[in-house]
Structure formats: C-alpha cells, structure tokens
C-alpha cells in the first residue's frame, strides 16, 4: 500500500472481490434492480419476532451468499468488518455472532459499505488477511422506529425525506477475483450546518463533494475516466447539491454520476420521495447490481462513494447539526 496525494491510498497487491451477496425485502425486489438481488424476502420479518432480529438475519444471509459465491467457509475468513444504523450496531453483532470470524465493528452510518470494503482491502493488501469480509445492512422498519416515529403512527414524510432500504450487502475480499480494489479514500467529517433530519441528502452532499474532489486531485483522474461514479445515498436533493458544488470546483459529473438511492427504487411508483437510503441501500446496489455489471464487463472502472450522516436522535434533540462523511473505493473489472 502507498499513499498518493493528500488523502488516498493505493493498493499494491491486487486485493479483489472474490465473492459477494445482496439480499433485500419485498419493496427492493419490486424495484428496477430486483433481479440483481441474490435473494429477496416477501415477508420482511424473515420469520423473526422483531424488526431488529430481521435486520440481523439479513446480514447473516448476505454473508452466507457471499461466502458461497467465494467458495469459502467462514473459518477461512480472517476478519469481518461490519456495521449498521442501529444503536450499538446490534444487527451486525447478532447477525454475525454465529460465524466465529474475528470481528471489527464499524460505524459510518450509510457510508459503512465503503468503509468496511476499504478496511477489508487494507487487511488483504497488507498481508494481515488472506480473506476479509465486509457487510452492512438496514431495515426500513427498525430504522423508522429508532430514528423517527413508530410505523403505526403513519407519519407523513416530507418530499426531501429518503426511504431506508430493507437490504444487506456483503463482499469477500481476497486475491484473484475479477474485480480489483485499486484505491480508496477515507473521508473527513464535513459539517456545513444542515439540521433537518428529513433532508439527509443535503447534509451529506458537502462531504461527497469534498471526498470526490480530493480523490480526483490525489489520483490525477477526471470524472470521464470512469464508467460511473456512484454515490450512496444522496437521493434527488443531495445529488443535485453535490453536482452543483463540484461544478463550482470545475468538475462536471453530470454524465457519469448516479446515486444508489435513485437506482434502487422506482421513485414515483414506489413512493420513496427523494430516493433510498440506509446502510443497506448502497451496499445492496454495489453487491447486487454494480459488481454483477462489472463481472459481465458492462462496467469497467467505477468509483463507489458511500455517504453517511453522523447524527443520532440525541444530537438532533440537543440542536446539533448533521455532520456528513464520504468514503470512496475505486474498483476495476
């Protein structure tokens, strides 16, 4: 590994994706990427007796699929990096406790998929691991009742609000896979003072702009060098703000940018307002759709830029703004 520019690391020993899995709920199955999920569940309780247990089960299933696609057993994975949105990251703990993998919990809110993938690649590239796993999840019902209101209230959502995906994605990183992990950037916390928890896209957009700008500068690349620059999950409002901010820096991403939150659902027909969100959104878009596209050769070189809003209900109640972060991983087929 070596550092390039101010903030980017370049992998030198070709860590790559040797297995991946994406699982989701009924709504995700009915979206435009439904066919790219390895498994979807019509009953989003997954036969458990709570939404939190259902979310843990999603992680367990995603890792099982990823392990199977890598053709390896849990005991052959040297580290698992996992995280989610629930308090104390319980979806990860309870979903993964049965696997017996050395466990390093991560918290990056909705940026967690990029963070766990970055860390897994670091471990493999450095020789600390032969194989390392990354996984994250979210569940609409567990997130709503923890962060917003009980589902039974039937609260109205604002047009800027995003829909937390019921989904999980997992990657097994090793050597010899078809998609290589080439570079990565860990983002800084960026806080421009947005306080509206129903407009997370706006809160995270400045961090996305900051990280993407820095990454392109560090690596001397231009937006058009990529087949796609995928943010996750800025939604409609945040995406536009990010594009505007980058235009101010002389970077035009309009032709290469897509947002995982805008890819996962039929926005109007599925009534998701500004788009999808949640750790599981960008995770399942990456692990289901994007990696499949790369393996088919339909995408060659992409940036996966996952964004997170680092707030809690307590910080909101105490009048704090919503700090954002964006971590980036460069993948090449």
Nearest to a copy of itself of 118, 281 (CB atom):
118
Cα distance from N-terminal residue to C-terminal residue, the chain? 20
Per CB under 8 A, 90 contacts a copy of itself? yes
**DSSP codes joined into one string, 176-187:** S-SEEEEEEEPP
Distance CA 214, CA 6 (A): 8
According to DSSP, the residues that pair with 258 across neighbouring strands are 230
Kindly report the backbone phi and psi dihedral angles of residue 181, in degrees, each rounded to the nearest multiple of 5, phi listed first: -100, 110
CB of 115 to a copy of itself, least distance (A): 6
Is the peptide bond prior to 233 cis by the omega test (within 30 degrees of 0)? yes
Per CB under 8 A, 78 contacts a copy of itself? yes
Per CB under 8 A, 94 contacts a copy of itself? yes
Kindly report the backbone phi and psi dihedral angles of residue 23, in degrees, each rounded to the nearest multiple of 5, phi listed first: -130, 155
Angle between the 235-248 and 200-219 helix axes, to the nearest 10 degrees?
40
As to burial, measured by CB atoms within 10 angstroms (0-12 exposed, 13-18 middle, 19+ buried), residue 10 is: middle
Task: Mark the segment that binds a copy of itself (CB under 8 A) among 117-125, 164-172, 174-182, 293-301.
Answer: 117-125
Residue from the set 108, 228, 238, 275 that interacts with a copy of itself by CB under 8 A: 108
Nearest to a copy of itself of 254, 318 (CB atom):
318
Q: Cβ contacts of residue 138 below 8 Å, gap of 6+?
A: 55, 84, 85, 110, 164, 165, 166, 167, 168, 277, 278, 279, 280, 281
Per CB under 8 A, 96 contacts a copy of itself? yes
Per CB under 8 A, 198 contacts a copy of itself? no
CB of 35 to a copy of itself, least distance (A): 33
Residue from the set 23, 63, 186, 294 that interacts with a copy of itself by CB under 8 A: 186
Residue from the set 115, 138, 277, 307 that interacts with a copy of itself by CB under 8 A: 115
The 3-state DSSP class for residue 304 equals strand
Per CB under 8 A, 97 contacts a copy of itself? yes
Q: Indicate the helix (H) or strand (E) that contains 67.
A: helix 51-70
Distance CA 124, CA 11 (A): 9
CB of 199 to a copy of itself, least distance (A): 18
CB of 231 to a copy of itself, least distance (A): 18
Which residues 119-138 are close enough to bind a copy of itself by CB under 8 A? Answer: 119, 122-123, 125-130
Residue from the set 23, 58, 86, 229 that interacts with a copy of itself by CB under 8 A: 86
Residue from the set 35, 73, 88, 296 that interacts with a copy of itself by CB under 8 A: 88
Nearest to a copy of itself of 14, 90 (CB atom):
90
Q: Indicate the helix (H) or strand (E) that contains 175.
A: strand 167-175
Residue from the set 53, 139, 180, 267 that interacts with a copy of itself by CB under 8 A: 53
Alpha-carbon separation of residue 137 from 52, 99, 270 (angstroms): 11, 17, 20
Q: How many residues does the chain have?
A: 333
Instruction: Give the position of tokens 């460069």.
Output: 330
Which residues 283-312 are close enough to bind a copy of itself by CB under 8 A? Answer: 310-312
- Interstrand relation of 301-309 and 276-277 (parallel, antiparallel or unpaired): unpaired
Per CB under 8 A, 83 contacts a copy of itself? yes
Task: Mark the segment that binds a copy of itself (CB under 8 A) among 28-36, 64-72, 100-108, 293-301.
Answer: 100-108
- Return residues touching a copy of itself (CB under 8 A): 1-3, 7, 9, 49-50, 52-53, 78-79, 83, 85-90, 93-94, 96-97, 100-109, 115, 118-119, 122-123, 125-130, 146, 185-189, 191, 310-315, 318, 320, 323, 325, 327
């Amino acid at each position: 590994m070596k550092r390039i520019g101010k903030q980017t690391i370049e992998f030198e020993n070709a860590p790559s994706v040797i297995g991946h899995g994406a699982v989701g709920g009924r709504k995700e199955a009915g979206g435009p990427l439904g066919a790219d999920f390895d498994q979807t569940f019509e009953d989003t309780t997954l036969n458990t007796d709570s939404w939190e247990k259902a979310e843990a089960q999603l992680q367990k299933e995603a890792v099982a699929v990823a392990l199977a696609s890598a053709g390896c057993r849990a005991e052959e994975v040297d580290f698992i990096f996992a995280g989610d949105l629930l308090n104390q990251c319980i979806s990860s703990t309870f979903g993964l406790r049965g696997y017996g993998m050395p466990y390093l919990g991560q918290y990056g809110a909705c940026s967690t998929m990029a963070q766990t993938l970055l860390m897994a690649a670091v471990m493999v590239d450095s020789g600390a691991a032969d194989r390392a796993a990354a996984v994250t999840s979210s569940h609409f019902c567990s997130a709503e009742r923890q962060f917003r209101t009980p589902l039974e209230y039937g609260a109205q959502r604002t047009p800027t609000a995003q829909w937390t995906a019921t989904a999980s994605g997992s990657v097994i990183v090793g050597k010899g896979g078809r998609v290589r992990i080439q570079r990565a950037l860990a983002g800084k916390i960026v806080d421009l003072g947005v306080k509206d928890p129903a407009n997370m896209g706006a809160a995270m957009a400045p961090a996305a702009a900051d990280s993407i700008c820095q990454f392109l500068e560090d690596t001397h690349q231009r937006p058009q060098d990529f087949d796609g620059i995928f943010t996750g999950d800025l939604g409609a409002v945040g995406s536009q703000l990010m594009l505007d901010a980058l235009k101010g820096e002389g970077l035009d991403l309009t032709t290469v940018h897509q947002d995982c939150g805008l890819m996962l659902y039929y926005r109007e027909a599925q009534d998701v307002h500004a788009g999808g969100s949640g750790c599981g959104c960008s995770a399942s878009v990456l692990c289901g759709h994007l990696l499949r596209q790369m393996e088919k050769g339909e995408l060659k070189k992409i940036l996966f830029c996952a964004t997170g809003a680092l707030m809690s209900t307590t910080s909101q109640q105490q009048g704090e703004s919503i700090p954002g972060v964006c971590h980036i991983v460069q993948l090449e087929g």
